[in-house]
A and B are shown apart, each in its own frame.
Chain A
Amino acid sequence: MVFARVEYKKYGPLVFISHLDLIRCWDRITRRSGIPFSFTEGFHPRPRFSFAPPLPVGFEGERELLDIALESPYSSIKEAINKVVPYGIYVNNVYFIEHSDLGDSIIGGLYNFQWMGMVKEEDLGEGLKSSGIKDWIYSSEPLNQDLYGFSGTKNSLSIPILFVKGSPSPKRIVELIDGFGENIWLKLSRSLLLEK
């Protein structure tokens, strides 16, 4: 048995599906692909998946990872999967590994928050520090009106969050920012951080 490590994006309308929805989605993608993935025994056979920590609803996954078990390496998995994905999933790369150690390989995620609102940078900094966040990059720039249909200032915050006990959740950051006034959320995303 080997594992296909699938590096993929989750974007567009599918940012709104939950982690459970995503598992179901991948179950069907693998079946449609025609590739002989390995299935569990029993009355509800499922592919053998290993997922990264769940993406919160609303977040794009710019670089997501998924391990899928199969008997032996198979060629053109990437093409076969991309042929049958719904709009909102796209596979960038597939390679084969002997052991599925996704839990150890992924150390955290670089989360990006973009919104339009009245928050002041100083207040934001205070709020982030008291949530236990030490590193972040903040920027603000005018909004691309052609892209969004309205004008204003786009705030952007990038925070690396490690998947260890005590780390703040991305939802907590959203709540923090929302606490500073009425905001319009433009985009939320994460990119997984691997060790090494």
Chain B
Amino acid sequence: MNYPFDLLYRIRKPASYIGNEYNIIRKDFKDKIKIALAFPDTYEVGMSNLGFSIIYSIINSREDSLAERIFAPWVDMEEALRKRRIPLLTLESGKTISDFDILAFSIPYELNYSNILTILDLCGLPLLSSEREGLPLVIAGGTCTSHPSPIIPFIDCFIVGDGEEVINGIIDAFKEWKNNSEQKGELLESLSGIEGIYVPGISRYVKRRIVEDINTVQYPTSPLVPNTEIVHDRAVVEIMRGCTRGCRFCEAGFLYRPVRERSIENIKRLSEEILRSTGYGEIGFLSLSASDYSNLEGLTRYIEESLVPSHISVSIPSLRIDTVSGDFYKAIGEIKRGLTFAPEAGTQRLRDVINKNITEDDIFKTVELVSREGWKAVKLYFMIGLPTETEEDILGIADLLNNIKKMYKKIELNVSVSVFVPKPHTPFQWAGQITPEEAKKKITLIRKNLVRRDINMSWHDPRVSLLEGILSRGGAELGDIIIKSWRKGVRFDAWTDQFNWDIWDSSFIEEGIDFIGYLKEKTFLDPLPWDFVDAGVRKEFLWDEYISGLSGVRREDCRKAGCYNCGVC
């Protein structure tokens, strides 16, 4: 064990810090490029992240490099480490960051930003890139690097896009540099020449790195088996990357296109190897929209004929309900308590605006399916504050829920409402975001109009969405706000019990920044803090989509309806 018994014994979830997972990779440190992979959230969240697992596997599969892991310590662990003056140690070998060449963050969510600073600080590193003279080089990948401005002060180099190929480029460049120079500036110059890499201060723009064929890139076939429960605890095979349904609010849909599929042969091979090397009893087939996988019948047959007889249970998340039946779920052996569904808007008009092409008919067909199969519950997701939303649309949510409940009294109806946050690189990146006060009014309006009291409605603290909105669309000026708030104690902002809006608020006041400005609508001529990132989709296309959206024009999936020339292919 890397940390003393007595320290771990006294904190929450000590198993998060023990490592020693089956399939853990421990390599000799001699003659290697040594990379510490850091995930800015807890072990249980980070170990559920496929991208993190992929990069760990790729780096370790090379003879000339190794990767070890660091996760954000929980607040009690941070306190214990500071008290005993123990730095953060990697899980594999218990070494400190001084033994590593590169510290690489994987950042999926803006509300992880404060945890980045915790990790830097507990590693004994200055928070600012400008104050770090030598190694380790601090790099970052993950979804947030497509709009990285708020964290530019902390990171030396960003990876934008698919990481599988570019990580190899980074290791090669680092090796080359290490043999020839000691000047960090030269290393950064060299890295800035690699496609998909953005070096603040050197690069002027960055083009998102896209792996053309995901069948040819490496995929972890003996992933780590955690010793303790994590959020998604199962074997995972990514069947498809990208989605072209074109929902106008969806960041993932625009940042991961074009659609690339894994062949069914590959999926089978990977599944077999992973199940054998891990002993997992459950496997998940991941994608952004599984119904769009072109060989769903092949996959179903594989599940029925190979997996179910081997006592493996299967889950296929992100299935669009309109395309599958109850028999499908039985065939894949997926136990269903109910179905989850995301209409996002309460009226067809607004669903057309956001291009979420689900009709009320689809919704009722789903509930009918749940009822007929004897399943117990339906969960629906909605957003409030969408562009062009009127009171009629808000009441539409209540009407829809009331009608469902009226027809299907016995079904448990669970509803989750969240505030729409306009995300960069989507058609709605110019849209406005509602304030927490406006959000509260809309939530109250929905609740007041629910006729039945047994509709379970939940919603997140709208101030969490406010912070997400600010960090999503803000610029480098937010760096000081992040540092200030962190010094005052913000941690794990994505966790309900840790989120502390008052601290963030006080930081904005002290810096004299009116955060409401970040919520405002923008025009095509307004420069956006992420304009230097070419995500593959043309800005003009996004603007066209925005305008079309505002008029309620629907666009079908380009793989079926024909190319709209978004620019990525």
A, B assembled together: yes
By a beta-carbon cutoff of 8 Å, the part of chain A in contact with chain B is 12-14, 16-18, 20-21, 24-25, 27-32, 39, 42-46, 57-58, 84-88, 184-188
Q: Contact check, B281 vs A17: say whether CB atoms are below 8 A apart.
A: no
- Grouping DSSP codes into helix (H, G, I), strand (E, B) and loop, the A interface class, with mixed when no group exceeds half, is mixed
User: Which B residues are CB-close (under 8 A) to A14?
Assistant: 18, 20, 227
Contact of A184 among B6, B21, B228, B312 (CB under 8 A): B6
Total count of chain B residues near the partner, CB < 8 A:
32
Q: At the interface, yes or no: B166 with Cβ under 8 Å from chain A?
A: no
Q: Contact check, B311 vs A45: say whether CB atoms are below 8 A apart.
A: yes
Q: Contact check, B279 vs A88: say whether CB atoms are below 8 A apart.
A: no
Q: Contact check, A84 vs B279: say whether CB atoms are below 8 A apart.
A: yes
Q: At the interface, yes or no: B334 with Cβ under 8 Å from chain A?
A: yes
Q: Contact check, A43 vs B22: say whether CB atoms are below 8 A apart.
A: no
* Residue of B227, B275, B280 ringed by the most chain A CB atoms within 10 A: B227
Stretch binding the partner chain, chosen from B8-16, B203-211, B443-451, B532-540: B8-16
Contact of A27 among B1, B227, B228, B281 (CB under 8 A): B281
Q: Contact check, A21 vs B229: say whether CB atoms are below 8 A apart.
A: yes
Q: At the interface, yes or no: B35 with Cβ under 8 Å from chain A?
A: no
Q: Contact check, B279 vs A86: say whether CB atoms are below 8 A apart.
A: no
Contact of A28 among B8, B22, B228 (CB under 8 A): B22
Sample 30 A-B pairs with CB under 8 A, ordered by A number: A12-B1, A13-B20, A13-B227, A14-B18, A16-B9, A16-B228, A21-B15, A24-B229, A25-B227, A27-B279, A28-B22, A32-B277, A32-B278, A42-B335, A43-B313, A44-B313, A44-B335, A45-B311, A57-B14, A58-B14, A84-B22, A85-B22, A86-B20, A86-B21, A86-B22, A86-B225, A86-B227, A185-B5, A187-B5, A188-B9
Q: At the interface, yes or no: B412 with Cβ under 8 Å from chain A?
A: no
- Top 5 closest pairs, chain A to chain B, by CB: A28-B279, A32-B279, A43-B335, A13-B18, A31-B279
Q: Which A residue's beta carbon lies closest to that of B14?
A: A16
Please report the C-alpha to C-alpha distance between residue A25 and residue B159 in the assembled complex, in whole angstroms. Answer: 35
User: Which A residues are CB-close (under 8 A) to B278?
Assistant: 28, 32
User: Which A residues are CB-close (under 8 A) to B228?
Assistant: 16-18, 21
Contacts known (A28-B278, A185-B5); A87 close to B335, Cβ less than 8 A? no
Q: Which B residue's beta carbon lies closest to that of A150?
A: B4
Contact of B280 among A20, A21, A31 (CB under 8 A): A31
Please report the C-alpha to C-alpha distance between residue A185 and residue B1 in the assembled complex, in whole angstroms. Answer: 15
Please report the C-alpha to C-alpha distance between residue A57 and residue B410 in the assembled complex, in whole angstroms. Answer: 41
Q: At the interface, yes or no: B64 with Cβ under 8 Å from chain A?
A: no
Q: At the interface, yes or no: B19 with Cβ under 8 Å from chain A?
A: yes
Please report the C-alpha to C-alpha distance between residue A96 and residue B311 in the assembled complex, in whole angstroms. Answer: 24
Q: Which B residue's beta carbon lies closest to that of A59?
A: B9
User: Which A residues are CB-close (under 8 A) to B313?
Assistant: 43-45
Q: Which B residue's beta carbon lies closest to that of A184?
A: B6
User: Which A residues are CB-close (under 8 A) to B279?
Assistant: 27-32, 84
Q: At the interface, yes or no: B505 with Cβ under 8 Å from chain A?
A: no
Min CB distance A50 to B, Å, is: 18
Please report the C-alpha to C-alpha distance between residue A193 and residue B277 in the assembled complex, in whole angstroms. Answer: 35
Contact of A21 among B9, B10, B227, B335 (CB under 8 A): B227
Contact of B15 among A18, A42, A187 (CB under 8 A): A18
* Residue of B20, B282, B312, B334 ringed by the most chain A CB atoms within 10 A: B20
Please report the C-alpha to C-alpha distance between residue A12 and residue B229 in the assembled complex, in whole angstroms. Answer: 18
Please report the C-alpha to C-alpha distance between residue A87 and residue B281 in the assembled complex, in whole angstroms. Answer: 20
Please report the C-alpha to C-alpha distance between residue A20 and residue B233 in the assembled complex, in whole angstroms. Answer: 13
User: Which A residues are CB-close (under 8 A) to B277?
Assistant: 32
Please report the C-alpha to C-alpha distance between residue A134 and residue B156 in the assembled complex, in whole angstroms. Answer: 64
Q: At the interface, yes or no: B529 with Cβ under 8 Å from chain A?
A: no
**What 1/0 flags go to B377-410 for Cβ under 8 Å of A?**
0000000000000000000000000000000000
Min CB distance B8 to A, Å, is: 6
Q: Which B residue's beta carbon lies closest to that of A186?
A: B5
Min CB distance B323 to A, Å, is: 21
Q: At the interface, yes or no: B333 with Cβ under 8 Å from chain A?
A: yes
Q: Contact check, B6 vs A185: say whether CB atoms are below 8 A apart.
A: yes
User: Which B residues are CB-close (under 8 A) to A25?
Assistant: 227
Q: Which A residue's beta carbon lies closest to that of B313?
A: A44
Contacts known (A58-B9, A185-B5, A187-B5); A87 close to B20, Cβ less than 8 A? yes
Contact of A24 among B18, B233, B333 (CB under 8 A): B233
Contact of B8 among A16, A39, A44, A46 (CB under 8 A): A16
Min CB distance B273 to A, Å, is: 13
Please report the C-alpha to C-alpha distance between residue A27 and residue B227 in the assembled complex, in whole angstroms. Answer: 12
Contacts known (A14-B18, A21-B227, A28-B225); A43 close to B8, Cβ less than 8 A? no
Please report the C-alpha to C-alpha distance between residue A84 and residue B333 in the assembled complex, in whole angstroms. Answer: 27
Find residues 221-265 in chain B having any chain A CB closer than 8 Å to their own CB.
Answer: 225, 227-229, 233
Contacts known (A27-B281, A88-B20); A16 close to B333, Cβ less than 8 A? no
**What 1/0 flags go to B312-324 for Cβ under 8 Å of A?**
1100000000000
Please report the C-alpha to C-alpha distance between residue A137 and residue B233 in the assembled complex, in whole angstroms. Answer: 42
User: Which A residues are CB-close (under 8 A) to B275?
Assistant: 31
Please report the C-alpha to C-alpha distance between residue A188 and residue B6 in the assembled complex, in whole angstroms. Answer: 10
Q: Contact check, B1 vs A13: say whether CB atoms are below 8 A apart.
A: yes
Min CB distance A42 to B, Å, is: 8
Find residues 1-45 in chain B having any chain A CB closer than 8 Å to their own CB.
Answer: 1, 5-6, 8-10, 14-15, 18-22
Q: Contact check, B311 vs A28: say whether CB atoms are below 8 A apart.
A: no
Q: Which A residue's beta carbon lies closest to that of B233?
A: A24
User: Which A residues are CB-close (under 8 A) to B15?
Assistant: 16-18, 21, 57
User: Which B residues are CB-close (under 8 A) to A186?
Assistant: 5-6
User: Which A residues are CB-close (under 8 A) to B280?
Assistant: 28, 31
Contact of A20 among B19, B229, B281 (CB under 8 A): B229
Contact of A44 among B1, B10, B14, B281 (CB under 8 A): B281
User: Which B residues are CB-close (under 8 A) to A16?
Assistant: 8-9, 14-15, 18, 228
User: Which B residues are CB-close (under 8 A) to A58?
Assistant: 5, 9, 14
Q: Which B residue's beta carbon lies closest to that of A43?
A: B335
* Residue of A21, A31, A39, A58 ringed by the most chain B CB atoms within 10 A: A31
Q: Which A residue's beta carbon lies closest to that of B11?
A: A16
User: Which A residues are CB-close (under 8 A) to B312?
Assistant: 45
Min CB distance A69 to B, Å, is: 13
Min CB distance B307 to A, Å, is: 11
* Residue of B1, B20, B311 ringed by the most chain A CB atoms within 10 A: B311
User: Which B residues are CB-close (under 8 A) to A88?
Assistant: 20, 227
* Residue of B5, B280, B282, B334 ringed by the most chain A CB atoms within 10 A: B5
